[in-house]
Structure 1
């Protein structure tokens, strides 16, 4: 089935990680979010795909064009981000007059559930959550979706909209919707019309993750790394120990004394050790460095970043070209045991995680022997002085 993948947004909730990198290109176990979405769509039954790009469009377009896809994959540009209905409308000239699937390119869907969606004539993916008021909520009777309500105070159910749809061909003419109260052209208005005219089925998803904020990128890597099989292609010292499912790409180097407890992923060009310890769903991007006496736990370290000697990094996300000075220590646990909070679009928000460290934008540099508190965000190119204790964002 023809498929539209939405990948035009700026990703402001993911700042500072998206200050220079478009959110669709953020890595999930070695594969950018949007490419992973395409892979899952193809496995589920997509026969062609149109990716709608916008923010940093050339970066996304070039990455997609560089892959040899088994189906036709094209890109179209949404010049102004006016909403999801407008994004699909941008793709409309590239679609045939036939049913079509729409997926959000920054979401993880489990493959079996996505395949069930592709088998439907008209459908929306649904997922049960504890706090449905934060989402678009579906009212469902006997498997049929009757209504979608955006962020209601009194939710009609605990089933939320996963952003995965099968629309009938007629929906191509329904995309010219009015602006919502948020000033956007919403695809949920198209869904509501489909519910009123068509038997739209609710397809329950066993797993689903909206990757909108930094700790959700960490969760996305945890999910995906847990599904990897062991594959060692790089140069690994006989005195290093790889435990469990560890991927070491060709061109990576693992020095003597290194212990890596899977699941973990070490990308090409990376250098680990000697005497380093990696554990707990850790992803090292291309050309990263982890030095002597370093412990990296359950973290994402993006391309070109360095975690040199005598440093602890836990439950954190580092952007590209970050350099942590020797002896940098990251806290990842509050003394009161409450979930760590992080700043999202100016507000402190609970991550829902008992353990969470820091978020560093691209180009951050810390001095030697500094300490950074749990839940601190460092903006792109921020610096930390030697010996400094950082308790607030900068």
Structure 2
């Protein structure tokens, strides 16, 4: 059985993190999302077909021709016109029943195995508190009766997780699909065609963790979910004067200097230096070749590779891209004074993160001047600079 992995999208809602990398290569818990997806599938598949598009060469360079000894093939979706089109691109590469996984979703191995073992066509579903923002499944005797996209009055609380197994007959159904109202060819329309043709589509219900990493703050939630499974491991150098509490991973080549306190779960990647006198807490990942220095507190945040917060700064509930440098006294505000949830501007619209605490998102190569203050929910676009003493109240330039 092969797995077709959809990894062609640009991920515009994740900007500025996707300005310079495809969405599936955005790191969560220190590893690109795509690799977490492949890891979930390797126990049950004998090949991958990865559908690439936006910055597809970066995906190919990262994954290569095999992943953990499982062969990998690639097809290119030059124009991203929907999931049905993306799955259809793989037709020449599969001749038997296959899985379909999204390259930007955190999924457990148990769910992938359950789909693989379901037989025939199958769709993954999960009960959610508010299904109105999902495709909602109607089910009878464990099989799909219908699928309604984002209904105002959902008939059930079962949400479509966008993870499937298909027989090759799905390609005939895909051939009948017309563009949806948003101008795309939807795999859900192909599934409805299967149901109308009286082909059985089993519903595999899932109770464990699942997360579509669609917004920058989802990087924090996904990291928190994945670090729950982490066991502490010290392979790097830790000075006697440092304190490591809980499940902390210090990779080989990382250095933890005197006066540092790290409260896990946390990951310090290879080549990074933390301290002296730094405080790391919450579900935090310090990426490769980073420097977190004297008098710096990093709480519940993700720093991509080559990023530096060298002295006298606070970074809370934030995502910093690659090669970011926070000058001395740069401080992130992560809590509104009225204690309401933080909103972020996404593609011109104000979106509620649902988080009472959320700091900032920085694209790659952002540099701040000394004593810069950043308000909650701010996004700094790639290559942005702030002057010394700047207070940033709203998104500068094109950070949408």
The two structures share one fold, judged by TM-score above 0.5:
yes
Corresponding position: 1:101 with 2:99? yes
Q: Report how far residue 30 of structure 1 moved.
A: 2.2
Q: Report how far residue 219 of structure 1 moved.
A: 0.6
Provide Cα deviations, 1:104-160, integer angstroms capped at 9, x if missing partner. 110011222222111111211111222212111111123211111111222221111
1:187-198 mapped onto 2 (5 Å cutoff): 187-196=187-196, 197-198=198-199
Provide Cα deviations, 1:29-72, integer angstroms capped at 9, x if missing partner. 222111110110113x1221101110000000111107642322
**Corresponding position of 1:14:** 14
**2:262 maps to which of 260, 263, 275:** 260
Q: Report how far residue 337 of structure 1 moved.
A: 1.6
SS at match of 2:259: coil
SS at match of 2:169: helix
Corresponding position: 1:203 with 2:201? no
**Corresponding position of 1:24:** 24
**Corresponding position of 1:42:** 42
**1:391 maps to which of 385, 390, 393:** 393
Q: Report how far residue 194 of structure 1 moved.
A: 2.3
Any gaps of 5 or more consecutive residues in structure 1?
Answer: none
Give the whole-Å Cα distance in 2 for the aligned partners of 1:286 and 1:193. Answer: 47
CA contact (8 A) 1:285 1:302 kept: yes
Please, which moves more after superposition, 9-18 or 24-33? 24-33
**Corresponding position of 1:175:** 174
Q: Report how far residue 275 of structure 1 moved.
A: 0.5
Give the whole-Å Cα distance in 1 for the aligned partners of 2:69 and 2:39. Answer: 10
Give the whole-Å Cα distance in 2 for the aligned partners of 1:40 and 1:327. Answer: 41
Give the whole-Å Cα distance in 1 for the aligned partners of 2:47 and 2:101. Answer: 13
CA contact (8 A) 2:65 2:71 kept: no
CA contact (8 A) 2:65 2:72 kept: no
**Corresponding position of 1:131:** 130
**2:116 maps to which of 115, 118, 137:** 118
Give the whole-Å Cα distance in 2 for the aligned partners of 1:326 and 1:221. Answer: 27
SS at match of 2:225: helix
CA contact (8 A) 1:339 1:353 kept: yes
CA contact (8 A) 1:167 1:194 kept: no
Give the whole-Å Cα distance in 2 for the aligned partners of 1:129 and 1:6. Answer: 24
Ranges of 4+ aligned residues in structure 1 off by more than 6 Å: none
**Corresponding position of 1:185:** 185
Give the whole-Å Cα distance in 2 for the aligned partners of 1:253 and 1:66. Answer: 33
1:131-150 mapped onto 2 (5 Å cutoff): 131-150=130-149
SS at match of 1:40: helix
**Corresponding position of 2:152:** 153
1:1-394 mapped onto 2 (5 Å cutoff): 1-43=1-43, 45-65=44-64, 68-96=67-95, 98-121=96-119, 122-176=121-175, 177-196=177-196, 197-206=198-207, 207-394=209-396
Give the whole-Å Cα distance in 1 for the aligned partners of 2:65 and 2:317. Answer: 32
Provide Cα deviations, 1:297-316, integer angstroms capped at 9, x if missing partner. 00010011111101000000
Give the whole-Å Cα distance in 2 for the aligned partners of 1:214 and 1:260. Answer: 24
Q: Report how far residue 230 of structure 1 moved.
A: 0.9
CA contact (8 A) 2:256 2:273 kept: yes
Provide Cα deviations, 1:348-373, integer angstroms capped at 9, x if missing partner. 11111111100111111111112111
- RMSD over equivalenced CA pairs, Å: 1.2
CA contact (8 A) 1:114 1:205 kept: no
Give the whole-Å Cα distance in 2 for the aligned partners of 1:341 and 1:27. Answer: 23
Give the whole-Å Cα distance in 2 for the aligned partners of 1:94 and 1:297. Answer: 45
Give the whole-Å Cα distance in 2 for the aligned partners of 1:115 and 1:335. Answer: 46
CA contact (8 A) 1:110 1:205 kept: no
SS at match of 1:308: strand
Any gaps of 5 or more consecutive residues in structure 2?
Answer: none
Q: Report how far residue 374 of structure 1 moved.
A: 0.6
CA contact (8 A) 2:65 2:73 kept: no
